[in-house]
Structure 1
Amino acid sequence: MRDRYLDFVNSSFGAGVARSIGLPRPEVLRRHRADRPEFGGMAAIGAGPSPALFDALIDVLQSVGMTGVAHESARGWLPLANEHGAMSGRFEPQAPDANASDRVEALIFDGTGIADSTELTKLYGFFHDGIRSVAKSGRIIVLGRPPETCGSPHAWTAQRALEGMARSLGKEARHGITSNLLQVAEGASFEGALRFFLSPRSAYVSGQVVRIEAAPFVKPADWSKPLSGKRAIVTGAARGIGASIAAVLAALGAHVIGLDVPAAKDALDQTMLGIEDASPSGGVHAALLADIGAPEAPAELAAALDALGGIDIVVHNAGITRDRTIAKMTQAAWDSVIDINLSAQERIDDVLLAQNVLHDCGRIIGVSSISGIAGNLGQTNYATSKAGVIGRVASMERVLQPRGITINAVAPGFIETQMTARIPLGIREAGRRMNSMSQGGQPVDVAETIGWLASPASAGISGQLVRVCGQSLIGA
């Protein structure tokens, strides 16, 4: 579904009209394209006292081809960059009317050493100087520590304060700029997360806090194909978000099994054939028909996947809606939504785990919703099921940890799909505009986030929810 207002205000004529009468002009977001470089340009580096991640940060910037330029707060950056043989320089703040070519692609602040609220002044100095220097569709990334791991109440307090800064910057920056906080535990690798949040793949993910724990880090041989050799299953893959997830996982190198109900056979076949055509040199992808709500479905699915050699990635995307206010909702409408959206996930995973069909170091990713966070009028059943997905992810983290399996969820906001196209115009427009990007997301935004969580490089991320909502005001 197209956003005609976004198209209009970014056309030559529409841009002039928007300026003359003061209409808001959402930015056309820069998303990943295979024919364009994923990284490049400069990243301005700032820091609080005793930053702990400079060495790793220099290595990542070198590997993606970005140049780090040091703000005055990052006093140790330049000599360390020289030791690494990295190109660097000093950051010069840009005037609001500076040329686009002079702007930085990212602001990165290492706040891992902030141990007292008085040291938060370093945040002000860096972002006060730098916020106007970020290019359109640029990135703001704050690096901190998980507060609960800090050694003193003062440090815990200061590290928790970073969250308010990162979220607020996402609302102030505009121009398609995202802002996120990575809480990096001591000994944890954050390369996979940093690459994702620096890249166009994270175009619609903003205002998020991601905790990264120490875990065995498997560096992909090819960062453009981190899922090479992995086998993934995506439920509800025939259309919309599910079809996009299947396509992105395949593009990242996975062998994808798309699953949907028998009634969606034609659409599912078309989706999987499209994936084959887009990656003729890749592995064999397959379509699988099943009703995941059927009592026999988990055992039959486990047997089919076991016959293929098992599975590495499970994406629970299938879901239904049966909207009514609770007073008018039938028991059947309640039961069917809870069963498909939540209980079926539990039944399937229980069998896949018990029979070791899901390999060690595998990935389970559920698709929740903003409705599961904030609730929604006429969707008590849907919101309950999606909140349950969030609870399931949190509750299963420690259960799966001994096998190295991670479990996470994404929560889409307003995504341009056939389903949202049926929403009445006024409500649809409110859903599109009530976020920091002032626009709806695309199915690929959800898919790219799942692709990142499915990567071997995301081993330190588990039990978490990542919203793909353009920093929606709903549930904030």
Structure 2
Amino acid sequence: MTDTYTSLVNGGLTGSLAKKLGLPRPSVLRRHTPGAPLVTGPVLVLGGAVGTGDDADAVARTLLGWDLDVRRTAADDTARWGAVVVVLTEATHPDDLSDPVRELGSVLRSLAPGARVVTVSRPALATDAPALAAVRQGVDGILRSVAKELRGGATGNGVVLAGDVTVDATSVHGALRFLLSARSAFVDGQLLTVSSDAGSAPADWERPLAGRVAVVTGAARGIGAAIATTLARDGARVVVVDVPAAGEQLAKVANAVKSTALQLDITTPDAGTRIIDHAVRRHGGLDIVVHNAGITRDKLLANMKPEVWDSVIAVNIASQLRINEQLLASDAFRDAPRIVSLASTSGIAGNRGQSNYAASKAGVVGMVRATGPLLAEVGGTANAVAPGFIETDMTSRIPFATREVARRLNSLQQGGQPVDVAETVAFFASPAAGGINGTTLRVCGQNLVGA
């Protein structure tokens, strides 16, 4: 499904007319194309004192190692910046924010289309001194506010280093690379926490999942099909799973990604065992499970029948819990395994008429937070992706006026595409994300609901 309005206001006579009339003009987002540059121009690294060997210098060295054009000052007033990285890990008082943030402000009008602003900071803790907690929490407020000011398809996000994690940790590099890249087109105003120094850099950043076996549920169409396609593009062998009624479409997806299909109702008691057996028998192992299958049965709670509530809970959360138990008990799921679940912004902020759906998706957020430490024992992770408004067959059935409002209620003023969710799932499944565990990342264009 396409956003006709966004297409019309970005080209030709209709684009010129929209500009003259002062109509909102959502930008065409920069999305990933294999072989394309990581960023679209020079990268400015702000923070610290240049040449002192501090965290900002370390980040700059990392970016230089990726063959980027890295600058430590904004002296070139002709530059069209592809990205600005603001390193604030060593700030200890709100006064320390003034210089780097004002320098950031001075270059915002010089960002290239589809540019990236990324902060690097540490979390505020109850055990911190008050001034330290204030400056660290302040970075969150700055990032979320700046993200709402950006134009031209630019986005703003943050990497947060927990505990003893340093800026040289592999998953910090992985998070930076993801947020700087076109893969994060619809991730905006979000803070991604790296909680450990686990993880490893892939041999090939274009095919980070080479040699891995992945299972995607609900893969016959929409977001599930996009996830399967993206994982296969990144090198994984993919088992696509869906209900028997979707068998014909599921076979088409399997053929497209050159892998195998498994027709399965995930609510059956032995679904996890059947998934494991199929992956091991056909592909020699199982490394990644993506819980994408889900349903909606919307009703105001006062009008909701028990079977409507129960069906949503059964598919969206109870099945995942049962399958995860079987995965955790299996010797086949031990090689730095990854579980990635689909949550929703409805589970974060709630939504009228979706108490059952919101309960299930909030349940996913809680589930991955608790499952992550269990997988960490074998070098694994569990994370979730929370989509906002995504252009799918399901959202195409929303009444026109409601659909248009939902599309525009985010900082990017448009709906996301299934591939935007898929790119984030693929990142969480990658070896470079091994230090990110138990978290939920919104893919919503900085939707104006939720945290």
TM-score relative to the length of structure 1:
0.90
1:250 aligns with 2:232: yes
Of 120-129 and 287-296, more deviation after overlay is shown by 120-129
Of 390-399 and 144-153, more deviation after overlay is shown by 144-153
> Where do 5+ consecutive residues of structure 2 fail to align?
none
Kept in 2: contact 1:432–1:439 (CA 8 A): yes
Q: Which amino acid aligns with 1:70?
A: R
Q: 2:97 aligns with which of 93, 106, 120?
A: 120
1:304 aligns with 2:275: no
Residue 200 of structure 1 is matched in structure 2 by 182
SS of the equivalent of 1:414 reads coil
Structure 1 residue 125 displacement after superposition = 1.9
Residue 294 of structure 2 is matched in structure 1 by 319
Residue 310 of structure 2 is matched in structure 1 by 335
Kept in 2: contact 1:52–1:110 (CA 8 A): no
Structure 1 residue 175 displacement after superposition = 1.4
Residue 335 of structure 2 is matched in structure 1 by 360
Q: 2:150 aligns with which of 136, 151, 173?
A: 173
**Cα distance in 2, alignment partners of residues 59 and 370 from structure 1:** 36
Q: 1:214 aligns with which of 196, 199, 207?
A: 196
Residue 36 of structure 1 is matched in structure 2 by 36
How well do the aligned residues superpose, as a CA RMSD in angstroms? Answer: 1.7
Q: Deviations over 1:355-381 (max 9, x none)?
A: 223223111110001110111111111
**Cα distance in 2, alignment partners of residues 431 and 162 from structure 1:** 28
SS of the equivalent of 2:314 reads helix
Structure 1 residue 41 displacement after superposition = 2.3
Pick closer, same or farther for the CA change 1:404–1:318 going to 2, 3 Å: same
Q: Deviations over 1:253-288 (max 9, x none)?
A: 111111001111111111121223xxxxxxxx2111
SS of the equivalent of 1:182 reads strand
**Cα distance in 2, alignment partners of residues 290 and 91 from structure 1:** 59
Q: 2:131 aligns with which of 139, 148, 154?
A: 154
Kept in 1: contact 2:178–2:184 (CA 8 A): yes
Residue 234 of structure 1 is matched in structure 2 by 216
Q: 2:75 aligns with which of 82, 91, 94?
A: 91
Residue 63 of structure 1 is matched in structure 2 by 65
Structure 1 residue 309 displacement after superposition = 3.0
**Cα distance in 1, alignment partners of residues 135 and 173 from structure 2:** 24
**Cα distance in 2, alignment partners of residues 39 and 19 from structure 1:** 27
Of 150-159 and 60-69, more deviation after overlay is shown by 150-159
**Cα distance in 1, alignment partners of residues 185 and 234 from structure 2:** 17
Pick closer, same or farther for the CA change 1:332–1:453 going to 2, 3 Å: same
1:292 aligns with 2:266: yes
Structure 1 residue 329 displacement after superposition = 1.5
Of 266-275 and 428-437, more deviation after overlay is shown by 266-275
Structure 1 residue 151 displacement after superposition = 5.2
1:387 aligns with 2:387: no
1:464 aligns with 2:439: yes
Kept in 2: contact 1:114–1:120 (CA 8 A): yes
Structure 1 residue 326 displacement after superposition = 1.2
**Cα distance in 2, alignment partners of residues 316 and 51 from structure 1:** 43
Q: Deviations over 1:171-227 (max 9, x none)?
A: 001211100111124333311111111111101001011111232331111111111
Query: In percent, how many aligned pairs have the same letter?
Result: 44
Q: Which amino acid aligns with 1:63?
A: G
SS of the equivalent of 2:113 reads strand
SS of the equivalent of 2:352 reads coil
> Where do 5+ consecutive residues of structure 1 fail to align?
72-89, 95-101, 277-284
Residue 129 of structure 1 is matched in structure 2 by 106
Pick closer, same or farther for the CA change 1:181–1:38 going to 2, 3 Å: closer
Structure 1 residue 55 displacement after superposition = 4.6
Kept in 2: contact 1:61–1:68 (CA 8 A): yes
Kept in 2: contact 1:141–1:182 (CA 8 A): yes
**Cα distance in 2, alignment partners of residues 305 and 352 from structure 1:** 12
Structure 1 residue 37 displacement after superposition = 3.1
Q: Deviations over 1:50-86 (max 9, x none)?
A: 8843354234322332111122xxxxxxxxxxxxxxx
1:259 aligns with 2:236: no
**Cα distance in 2, alignment partners of residues 263 and 274 from structure 1:** 19
1:191 aligns with 2:173: yes
Q: 1:376 aligns with which of 351, 361, 373?
A: 351
1:12 aligns with 2:12: yes
Q: How many residue pairs align between the two structures?
A: 443
Pick closer, same or farther for the CA change 1:363–1:267 going to 2, 3 Å: same
Q: Deviations over 1:123-144 (max 9, x none)?
A: 4322221111111110000111
Q: Which amino acid aligns with 2:91?
A: I
Residue 323 of structure 2 is matched in structure 1 by 348
Structure 1 residue 437 displacement after superposition = 0.3
SS of the equivalent of 2:188 reads coil
Kept in 2: contact 1:51–1:112 (CA 8 A): no
5 Å-filtered alignment, 1:264-275, equals 264-275=246-257
Kept in 2: contact 1:40–1:66 (CA 8 A): no
Q: 2:419 aligns with which of 437, 444, 467?
A: 444
**Cα distance in 2, alignment partners of residues 434 and 304 from structure 1:** 42
Residue 281 of structure 1 is matched in structure 2 by none
SS of the equivalent of 2:257 reads helix
SS of the equivalent of 1:473 reads coil
TM-score relative to the length of structure 2:
0.94
5 Å-filtered alignment, 1:47-58, equals 47-48=47-48, 52-58=54-60
**Cα distance in 2, alignment partners of residues 306 and 274 from structure 1:** 21
SS of the equivalent of 1:327 reads helix
Structure 1 residue 302 displacement after superposition = 2.8
